[in-house]
Amino acid sequence: MLDELESELFYGAHQGSVAACARAVAQGVDVNVRTKADLDSVGVGATALHVTAVRGHEDVAAGLLRAKADALALSGRGETPVQLAARNGHVEVVKVLRAAGAVPLQAEGISKLMGQAPASWRDGQRKKLRRALGDDRRR
């Protein structure tokens, strides 16, 4: 169970409140604390960075990363924040995570992330994600 300050961190990550996350971290909350709750689209063992990646809050993701959030942390389902952002179509969050080194550099890893993009996406949206992942190859 999360304490009150840890809950504020997760609330800020969910709602897109940079201020709430910053307050929690400033008061000593471990930015990589994990929740035992089974969160929609994330599962158990998620960090605040996982939550904000699912929700698409790039400003919160950037703030959490500045506070030393682990960009490669695995959720209880074995997913990283960048996988969650790609699956939910949050290109701007993918860019923030890529800048933090959270995107695999090899073509196979990028292909796997591309495979997680929303099935409803058209070619233009897929191209944006591919560029955000740093793969400018034309397909």
Kindly report, residue by residue over 25-69, the tens digit of the pLDDT: 999 999 999 998 887 778 889 999 999 999 999 999 999 999 999
User: Is residue 139 assigned to a domain?
Assistant: no
Whether 2 shows a pLDDT value over 70: the answer reads yes
Which amino acid belongs to residue 51?
V
DSSP 20-32: HHHHHHHTT--TT
User: Is residue 47 assigned to a domain?
Assistant: yes
Q: Which residue is associated with the tokens 């949206």?
A: 125
Number of domains in the chain: 1
User: Is residue 49 assigned to a domain?
Assistant: yes
What is the domain range of residue 34? Answer: 4-132
**Whole-structure pTM value:** 0.82
DSSP 16: T
Whether 103 shows a pLDDT value over 80: the answer reads no
Instruction: Determine the Cα–Cα distance for residues 71 and 113; give it in Å rounded to an integer.
Output: 15
User: Is residue 10 assigned to a domain?
Assistant: yes
**CATH code for the domain of 123:** 1.25.40.20
User: Is residue 51 assigned to a domain?
Assistant: yes
User: Is residue 65 assigned to a domain?
Assistant: yes
User: Is residue 138 assigned to a domain?
Assistant: no
User: Is residue 43 assigned to a domain?
Assistant: yes
pLDDT at 138: 47
135: left (phi over 0), alpha (psi -120 to 50) or beta: beta
pLDDT band at 139 (very low <50, low <70, confident <90, very high): very low
